[in-house]
């Protein structure tokens, strides 16, 4: 039996209905489907959350992913620089540079973000340089971002520095490709044998300008100290260059006449075959660089030292003329003329194997106005002249050799000119080193500084710590009373618990010597030592020194020290 419904009559009945009430059947059907849709939406959301917990890619923006990749890449670069082994095997591949690529393969989305981010591919190092296919990929994907080039080819080079035929065709082509991208290079660090540099760079006579370069470092490795010429690079220096470092490169002042005034750091190590320069040439170059903060010139050509007399470098904080002839540097010292607004320390270092002749020392002392004094008196007056609060002029920092120091004026292997110009140096560590070195031969002045406070730019605590590190008793031959006086002054300015263990051992030697005498300061010193020890000063200090205080102290406090010592040991 079949049951049927007349659709037309049914619809007519619905349309002809005079009732305005909603149809219960349609409402029920609507509620049912709405409920089903809600269930499916809830299920989809739950599935989405479950997927996202395993693959959190859809919740991270492209910018955040790029930042993560950049941080991971920087960590990989640092790890490589710290762990790579120099074995000369060019066929081995160092994967540390590419660690940052691992997270980019987590999913297709991350991979696409990495491929579309030029900043991730702009770093070119030895691994990329020695493999043309990787270099092509990096240059293509990094466009148009600036490039950071760091090629330290000595890690993979053969032992020969003189035969260009040892270098592969791929390496020569890679260097040419990099130079053709010179308009995008931001930092350029090139450390490799001269044979490879000279093969390729000298051929690129018409390079695009280095429009974005901020840092240029060229170290032409050579075992003989001879230089190469790379005029194509020096003639294309951009106006935004901040740091320039050239080693093993033949440089003429005329070639460097186009250096921009934006340079703040310049380091040049002249090769042995560099042509002699002129004072006017160096003066012209330095005049164009008023923003120099750090200037390092190694093996300065003869004839240029007097240029420093007229140069005006208002922001210069460090001057390093290492590995130059002693007489040449002394001429620079005599010619120094810096403005009075220098806020930091200027150092002129001598080569460690240069023996300073006495006549040169006399010429230096003549600058300070006491060249006619005996050698020992010169040292005393020099220290007073340097640190006296009434005459804040120049101070000569002297580094002595412990093997040759005899307590009198020793042979000096290096010394440094400290320039303060009426104000304390920002960094007080050179003054501390200066006082330590000077205290080996100049005790009376050191004593005056301790007792009278006639020092500049140092707190009493810093000065006391410096004197403890100096440990000058063996060299200065102080008497017991004077030793007790100085140690008493030092202990008065040292806060409790601030003396490091090495300094404590020096206090032990000092106090043992000082307490052997019978003086008013010696008695007061015993009281200060007892007060510091019984006040709960550090246990290791008490254990280390109390036996000496008991042995050399005054009888009226020996018993109390023994009791305190035994109590702490118990």
What does the domain layout of the chain look like in residue ranges?
355-477, 490-569
Write down the pLDDT at residue 529: 66
Of 315, 297, 267, 317, which is closest to residue 427 (Cα–Cα)? 317
User: With 60 as the cut, is the pLDDT of residue 187 above it?
Assistant: yes
CA distance 204 to 230: 9
Question: Higher model confidence: residue 179 or residue 372?
Answer: 179
Facing residues of 123 across strands?
148
Q: In what order do the strands lie in the sheet with 215-221?
A: 123-124, 147-152, 185-193, 215-221, 243-247, 265-269, 294-298, 318-320
Phi, psi (5° rounding) for residue 124?
-120, 120
Provide the percentage of residues in the chain whose pLDDT is more than 70: 32
The predicted model scores a pTM of: 0.49
In 68-208, where do the E strands start and end? 123-124, 147-152, 185-193
Residue 455 CA neighbour count, 13 Å, CB half = 25
Cβ within 8 Å of residue 320, ≥6 positions away: 294, 295, 296, 297, 298, 347, 348, 349
Residue 58 CA neighbour count, 13 Å, CB half = 8
CA distance 14 to 10: 6
Write down the pLDDT at residue 40: 81
Provide the percentage of residues in the chain whose pLDDT is more than 90: 0
CA distance 463 to 465: 5
CA distance 521 to 336: 46
* Weakest mean pLDDT among 87-91, 278-282, 330-334, 565-569: 87-91
Write down the pLDDT at residue 80: 64
DSSP state letters, 283-333:
HHHHHT-TT-SEEEEESPPTT-GGGGGT---TT--EEE-TTS-HHHHHHHH
Q: What is the mean pLDDT of residues 250-265?
A: 79
Of 293, 275, 309, 300, which is closest to residue 345 (Cα–Cα)? 293
SS3 call for 22: coil
Write down the pLDDT at residue 268: 81
CA distance 265 to 252: 18
Rounded to the nearest 10 degrees, the angle between the axes of helix 443-452 and helix 375-387 is: 20
- Per-residue pLDDT tens over the stretch 488-508: 766 665 555 555 555 555 666
Of 409, 411, 419, 301, which is closest to residue 352 (Cα–Cα)? 411
Cβ within 8 Å of residue 156, ≥6 positions away: 88, 89, 90, 126, 130
Tell me, letter by letter, the H, E, C secondary structure of 345-357. Answer: CCCCCCCCCCCCC
Write down the pLDDT at residue 46: 72
- Per-residue pLDDT tens over the stretch 388-418: 322 223 333 333 333 333 333 332 222 333 3
Confidence of residue 475 (pLDDT cuts 50, 70, 90): very low
User: With 80 as the cut, is the pLDDT of residue 7 above it?
Assistant: no
User: With 80 as the cut, is the pLDDT of residue 53 above it?
Assistant: no
CA distance 52 to 57: 7
DSSP state letters, 201-266:
HTT--SPPP-TT--EEEEEEE-SS---B--HHHHTT--TT--EEEEESB---TTTTTT--TT--EE
SS3 call for 371: coil
CA distance 259 to 54: 55
The tokens of 232 are what?
Answer: 């194509």
- Report whether 272 contacts 251 (CB < 8 A): no
SS3 call for 551: helix
């Amino acid at each position: 039996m079949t049951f049927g419904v007349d659709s037309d009559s049914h619809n007519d009945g619905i349309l002809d209905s005079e009732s305005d009430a909603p149809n219960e059947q349609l409402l029920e059907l609507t509620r049912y489907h709405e409920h089903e849709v809600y269930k499916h939406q809830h299920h989809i959301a739950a599935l989405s959350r479950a997927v996202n917990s395993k693959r959190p890619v859809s919740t991270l923006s492209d910018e955040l992913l790029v930042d993560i990749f950049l941080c991971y890449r920087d960590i990989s670069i640092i790890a490589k620089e710290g762990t790579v082994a120099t074995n000369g095997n060019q066929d081995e591949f160092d994967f540390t540079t590419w660690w940052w690529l691992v997270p980019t393969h987590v999913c297709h989305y991350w991979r696409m973000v990495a491929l579309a981010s030029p900043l991730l591919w702009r770093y070119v190092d030895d691994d990329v340089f020695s493999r043309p296919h990787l270099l092509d990929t990096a240059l293509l994907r990094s466009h148009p971002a600036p490039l950071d080039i760091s090629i330290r080819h000595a890690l993979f080079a053969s032992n020969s520095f003189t035969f260009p035929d040892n270098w592969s065709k791929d390496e020569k082509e890679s260097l040419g490709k990099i130079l053709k991208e010179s308009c995008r290079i931001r930092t350029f660090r090139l450390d490799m044998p001269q044979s490879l540099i000279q093969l390729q760079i000298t051929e690129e006579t018409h390079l695009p300008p280095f429009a974005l370069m901020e840092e240029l470092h060229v170290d032409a490795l050579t075992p003989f100290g001879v230089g190469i010429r790379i005029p194509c690079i020096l003639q294309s220096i951009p106006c935004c260059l901040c740091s320039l470092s050239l080693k093993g490169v033949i440089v003429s002042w005329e070639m460097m006449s186009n250096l921009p005034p934006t340079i703040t750091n310049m380091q040049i190590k002249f090769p042995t075959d560099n042509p002699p320069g002129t004072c006017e040439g160096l003066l012209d170059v330095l005049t164009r660089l008023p923003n120099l903060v750090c200037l390092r010139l190694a093996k300065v050509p003869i004839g240029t030292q007097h240029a420093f007399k007229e140069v005006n470098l208002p922001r210069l904080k460090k001057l390093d003329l290492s590995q130059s002839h002693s007489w040449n540097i002394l001429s620079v010292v005599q010619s120094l003329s810096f403005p009075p607004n220098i806020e930091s320390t200027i150092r002129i270092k001598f080569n460690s194997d240069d023996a300073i002749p006495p006549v040169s020392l006399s010429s230096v002392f003549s600058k300070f106005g006491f060249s006619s004094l005996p050698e020992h008196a010169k040292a005393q007056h020099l220290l007073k002249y340097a640190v006296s609060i009434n005459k804040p002029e120049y101070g000569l920092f002297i580094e002595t050799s412990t093997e040759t120091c005899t307590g009198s004026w020793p042979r000096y292997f290096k010394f440094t000119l400290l320039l303060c110009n009426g104000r304390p140096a920002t960094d007080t560590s050179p003054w501390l080193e200066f006082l330590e070195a000077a205290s080996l031969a100049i005790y009376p002045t050191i004593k005056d500084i301790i007792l009278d406070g006639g020092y500049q730019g140092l707190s009493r605590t810093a000065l006391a710590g410096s004197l403890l590190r100096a440990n000058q008793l063996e060299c200065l031959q102080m008497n017991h009373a004077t030793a007790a006086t100085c140690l008493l002054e030092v202990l008065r300015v040292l806060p409790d618990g601030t003396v490091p263990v090495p300094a404590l051992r020096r206090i032990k030697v000092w106090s043992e010597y000082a307490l052997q005498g019978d003086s008013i300061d010696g008695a007061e010193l015993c009281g200060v030592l007892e007060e510091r020890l019984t006040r709960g000063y550090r246990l290791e200090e008490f254990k280390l020194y109390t036996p000496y205080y008991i042995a050399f102290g005054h009888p009226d406090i020996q018993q109390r020290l023994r009791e305190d010592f035994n109590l702490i040991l118990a």
